[in-house]
Structure 1
Amino acid sequence: IRASKADGAHESGLTALIWNQVLSYGTDAMITVALAGTVFFGASSHAQRGNVLLYLLITMAPFAVVAPIIGPVLDRFQHGRRWTMAATAIGRGVLALIMADHSSELLVLYPCALGSLVLSKAYVVLRAAAAPRLVPRGMSLTEANARLSIFGLGSTLVLGGFVGLVIKLTGSYSTGLVLSAIGFGTCAFFAFRLPSQVDSATPAPVHPGEAPRPPAQHQVPPLERLRTWAQRGFEPHIVTALQAESVLRLLSGLLTIYLAFYIEGTAHGFQAAAELAAVIAAAGVGNIVGTAIGTKVKLHQPERVVSVSTIVAALTCLIVALAFDVTFAVAGILIAMVANALSKIALDALIQRDVPETLRSSAFARSETFLQLSWVLGAAIGVVLPSSSRGDGPIGFWVATAVVGTVAVLVVLRQRVLAADRARRAWGDGPHGTGPVGEVPR
């Protein structure tokens, strides 16, 4: 509790947002655990790959909805963020109760699970857009994001484990879903109690720098329309950072799913359970460690954090591929998750710092969409790669090395080009275009 109030967070209102996020993330984890056995783990081992692919399709749909529809809507509700955040919690609570009452009917569970995911991501978008208003003096956006994330991750582990224990003791997934609904009700109550500065004083005006929409009669090619939508409000350096974090999220999905199937195909009994537990623990600990580093270290150059994280992840995959065994793989996924967590904190800070507030909700929605689709793509690659024998072990890491390494090189080159362009523009700002004031042109 003291950590949530440190460095002026209590006075600025950040503490209230932290505990609201604790409840939201923790109850989302409770929903996930309660649904896991009902929907996914009841199948035979032969059907598990198909079930994973089906799950990936279910998770892709909500994020295709969030970005083009919910993001722009949330941009227009800046004057009522507290109410909107509470509404997302209430909606998830109602869906949890419906799922509890129909826990064996997949045709009810799947649409409700999809709706819960959409509302969950809407909450994440709102929280990210509201956070800059609650950052205390002397704390950077990166540090604030890291503190929010580490409390959220902690609640995910604690409440997810709690509901898993309850289900184990009662044998009832419905009980876990009812507890989740109670958690969402509590989350809504605390959302109403967030500081008033979370809301804008008035509805957001149209940003003067925002490009006007083309007239209806003007025919814009679909790909050009998609590119304009994807980059709306994003400066080139943010686009580059998003590309880097997207490949790290792809890596997360690839390694998690690939190693799960590899262990299933090559180990049995207690050994398989221990190795799978080690992979899951490494992923969780890596996220927590990366987030903890973000809370303690002042990351004044988020762009550099993103590029360094990508390079470290690529080199880690290469080392694991060259000297593969399960121990190296577990260490590799730990380091990859640390890099992913740091890069995500830095990306969020860039969006909060450089995207106009009138576009910030939709910018976060698009960012989350790209990142989730990247995870889904990586997981799908992990499903289709061969992983049934000991000799297949390094394949996933070789693929990861090729993909992440290529993107790391492109990101570094792109950042150097952008830095040179900024230097040229700064030089041209002096008198008569001769350079900055006080400098003698060479």
Structure 2
Amino acid sequence: MSVPPGDPSRPARGAGNGVPPRPTAPDTAAHDLPPTTPTPAAKTAGRRAAHAFRVGAARTGRVVGRGTLAGARLAGRGSRAGARRARAYTHSAGAGESGLARLVELHFVNLMGDAALTVSLAGTIFAIPTDEARGQVAQFLVLTMAPFALLAPFIGPLLDRFRHGRRWAIGTTLALRAFLCWVLAGAVANDSPWLFPAALGCLVASKAYGVTRASAVPRLLPPGFSLVNANSRNALAGVAGMAVGGGLAGAAARVGPEWSLRLAFVIYVVGTVLAIRLPSRVDSSTGEQDIEDTGPLPVPRRDGRRLGLVQRLQARVAALPVTVLTALCSAIGARLLTGFLTLFMAFLMREHPLPGHSGTFVLALVVGAAGTGNALGTVVGNALRQLRPDLIIAVALIADVLAALAAALFYSLTTLLVLGLVAGLGAQLIKLSSDAVVQRDIDETVRTRVFAWSETVLQIAWVVGGGIGIAIPLIPRLGFGVISALLLLVLAASVRIRMTRHHRPHPTPAPGSM
């Protein structure tokens, strides 16, 4: 019979039964055991493994470093090659000798700064409550834009009276934005009340830059070079500048919005230096005269002095050919639409985003569509140079009206994208075509001042459009319905101008025009 384990009747192992006793485990913890001494072979293997690891790490580091340097060299070569191609393009067809290339490069730098400023303000002005932002933007828009709108008609004639005026005027608009960007950097960091005045001061300076630069372009045209070609180069440089400036500012904004503003400050300082270094031909007004002195309605005078602004404006409008006046009216409609779309969409997407879509995402899509349309307009405008510019202007304005009506009647993401694309495309096509009309139908002695004066009117139209976008309630169909009605009025006015003034004598086209 077996005896169960632990039975006291069972004899113990080794207790006189011939079986050696089983060794018992010592009553000691494992960590109290003395360490095992490695053998010489184990030490040698460990040293070899450590050496192999160090050699492999060093080789890997050298490979990664060489790859990084090679990639940097490749990127640098690609950027240098791209810069060389861009510089060759801007200096081609005599643009380098005439100084037009310098103005194109200046415009590239200017749009870089504007893009950096836009990226910086995207998270500041539009990051506060919508109602408060609309009120402050409307208030400062009136306070800052009203003096500009009143003084704008005098900017061109004032610059023409003073030698070396235009280069310093262009440089002043850039230097002012540099100073305001530095102020904005501190205002953003400290929540200063100077945020809105400084931001809208930058907007005023940007519009003034457009006017002063417009007066400089015709003075730098190479022989046989059209105004449309010059503005196309400026437009392409602007698109590239916005892309580069926006990318750099986006990287700097990750640290903080004040750093992207400091980047804009540096860019504007560079632009100021480039503006002052423009050719002296920018300041020359030799052989030029006022458009109002060439029309059938001479400027009334009393005691050798000109009368008020109203009489001068009447004489100026009377002196413009029907085609130029019609093109200017259509361009005003396009600028109204772009100004309205910029500010109305910015606030609409904050308060009433589309269902199922982020307001910021939709706004970025619409802005991207408008930028794409603007760049596409430059390409299409050059491709359609054989067509009559008057026809291009009419078709583009009708397309703007239809796109705005579609957004009002069928408000959706698709119609908003179509409106942004058509607005950008139409604005660029109308601008290029109206420049072609000015060069074709305005005599060379008055062409520069007509061009600068028309640019002033277009800048004011953008401001008015933006003011309408702020003033009306943020109801999508109401807002787009209002701008559609305004565009229909502009279209009707352009048709009426052509019909009622067709009997006026048409001036002889200037030589070398499109």
- TM-score interval (norm. to shorter): 0.7 to 0.9
Matched, 1:240 2:326: yes
1:340 to 427, 441, 446: 427
Greater relative contact order structure (CA < 8 Å, 6+ sep): 1
Q: Which residue of 1 aligns with 2:245?
A: 159
Q: Structure 1: give runs of 5+ residues left out of the alignment.
A: 427-442
Residues 229-260 of structure 1: per-residue CA shift (max 9 Å, x gap): 87486444333322211112222233444444
Q: Which residue of 2 aligns with 1:53?
A: 138
Q: State whether residues 187 and 195 of structure 2, in contact with CA within 8 Å, keep that contact through their aligned partners in structure 1.
A: yes
What is the alpha-carbon distance in structure 2 between the residues aligned to residue 318 and residue 94 of structure 1?
41
Matched, 1:176 2:263: no
Matched, 1:90 2:175: yes
CA spacing shift, 1:385–1:79, aligned 2, 3 Å: closer
Q: Which residue of 2 aligns with 1:314?
A: 401
1:261 Cα deviation after fit: 4.5
What is the alpha-carbon distance in structure 2 between the residues aligned to residue 364 and residue 101 of structure 1?
38
Q: Which structure has greater helix proportion?
A: 1
- Alignment coverage as a number of residue pairs: 417
Q: State whether residues 70 and 362 of structure 1, in contact with CA within 8 Å, keep that contact through their aligned partners in structure 2.
A: no
Residues 38-63 of structure 1: per-residue CA shift (max 9 Å, x gap): 4x224223424324423532552353
What is the alpha-carbon distance in structure 2 between the residues aligned to residue 232 and residue 119 of structure 1?
30
Matches within 5 A, 1:231-270: 231=317, 234-263=320-349, 264-267=351-354
Matched, 1:410 2:496: no
2:484 to 401, 426, 430: 401
Residues 239-296 of structure 1: per-residue CA shift (max 9 Å, x gap): 3322211112222233444444444414367533332221121122122211232244
RMSD (CA atoms): 3.7
What is the alpha-carbon distance in structure 2 between the residues aligned to residue 420 and residue 304 of structure 1?
20
Q: Which residue of 1 aligns with 2:275?
A: 191
Matches within 5 A, 1:24-423: 24-38=110-124, 40-54=125-139, 56-57=141-142, 60-61=145-146, 63-77=148-162, 79=164, 81-103=166-188, 104=190, 106=192, 108-167=194-253, 169-173=254-258, 175-200=259-284, 209=294, 211-212=298-299, 214-215=301-302, 224-225=310-311, 227-228=313-314, 231=317, 234-263=320-349, 264-267=351-354, 271-298=358-385, 301-351=388-438, 363-364=450-451, 366-387=453-474, 393-422=476-505
Q: State whether residues 370 and 420 of structure 2, in contact with CA within 8 Å, keep that contact through their aligned partners in structure 1.
A: yes
Letter in 2 for 1:71: G
What is the alpha-carbon distance in structure 2 between the residues aligned to residue 394 and residue 379 of structure 1?
17
1:187 Cα deviation after fit: 1.5
1:338 Cα deviation after fit: 0.7
Q: Which residue of 1 aligns with 2:31?
A: none
Q: Which residue of 1 aligns with 2:78?
A: none
- Say which is worse superposed, 17-26 or 268-277, in terms of deviation: 268-277
What is the alpha-carbon distance in structure 1 between the residues aligned to residue 306 and residue 227 of structure 2?
40
What is the alpha-carbon distance in structure 2 between the residues aligned to residue 327 and residue 102 of structure 1?
38
What SS is found at the alignment partner of 1:41? helix
- Say which is worse superposed, 206-215 or 16-25, in terms of deviation: 206-215
- Say which is worse superposed, 138-147 or 258-267, in terms of deviation: 258-267
Q: State whether residues 145 and 349 of structure 1, in contact with CA within 8 Å, keep that contact through their aligned partners in structure 2.
A: no
Which structure is larger by alpha-carbon Rg, 1 or 2? 2
Q: State whether residues 279 and 333 of structure 1, in contact with CA within 8 Å, keep that contact through their aligned partners in structure 2.
A: yes
The sequence identity of aligned pairs, in percent, is 36
Q: State whether residues 143 and 298 of structure 1, in contact with CA within 8 Å, keep that contact through their aligned partners in structure 2.
A: no
1:132 Cα deviation after fit: 1.9
1:155 Cα deviation after fit: 1.0
Q: Structure 2: give runs of 5+ residues left out of the alignment.
A: 1-85, 509-514
TM-score under structure 2 normalisation?
Answer: 0.69
1:370 Cα deviation after fit: 3.0
TM-score under structure 1 normalisation?
Answer: 0.78
What SS is found at the alignment partner of 2:175? helix
